[in-house]
Amino acid sequence: MTCLYANLHHRYIDPRGQGKDLPTKLRKKGAFMDKQHSDIAKQFKKQLSGVVQVVECKIFGSQARGDADEYSDLDVFVEVETLSKEIKAQILDIAWAVGFENSLVVSPLIFSRDELENTALRSSPIVKVIAQEGITV
């Protein structure tokens, strides 16, 4: 089964464009998260913690859903206490360095706590999906 997209209602779109129920075995959070990618995410979070106060760090996207292939990146949601241009640049530099070291593209999605709590971003579909389906690092 090729799962092109899994949503909050445990449905997926198969290669023919048909919506189907996601098998129960695929519904478990982190069911497909392999140790290598989990370790890379932990390494990324550890390096971030030396630079910025990380509130939350979650893996999302194809790696979390279990439909990643050899060319997939590692999508990482990063919530920090405060965010400036300088901090964002440091986070992006760490993502690049960790990715380069592991031959993987690490793609951080970075927000401050204030942005997530006090702006319309808290209602964003991607933020809701990450909150429910993301795998905590």
Task: Decide: pTM greater than 0.85.
Answer: no
Number of structural domains in the chain: 1
Per-residue confidence (pLDDT) for residue 112, from 0 to 100: 96
Residue 22 domain flag: no
Question: In sequence order, which residues have a C-beta less than 8 Å from that of residue 6 and are 6 or more positions away?
Answer: 12, 22, 26, 65, 67, 133
Question: In sequence order, which residues have a C-beta less than 8 Å from that of residue 136 and are 6 or more positions away?
Answer: 56, 57, 58
Average pLDDT of the residues of the chain: 82
Residue 123 domain flag: yes
Residue 15 domain flag: no
Residue 4 domain flag: no
Residue 70 domain flag: yes
Residue 112 domain flag: yes
Dump pLDDT digits (tens) for 18-61: 554 444 444 444 455 788 999 999 999 999 999 999 999 999 99
Residue 14 domain flag: no
Dump pLDDT digits (tens) for 109-123: 999 999 999 999 888
- Does residue 32 or residue 81 have the better pLDDT? 81
Range of the domain at 116: 28-136
Residue 32 is part of a domain; what is its CATH number? 3.30.460.10
CB 23 within 8 A of CB 10: no
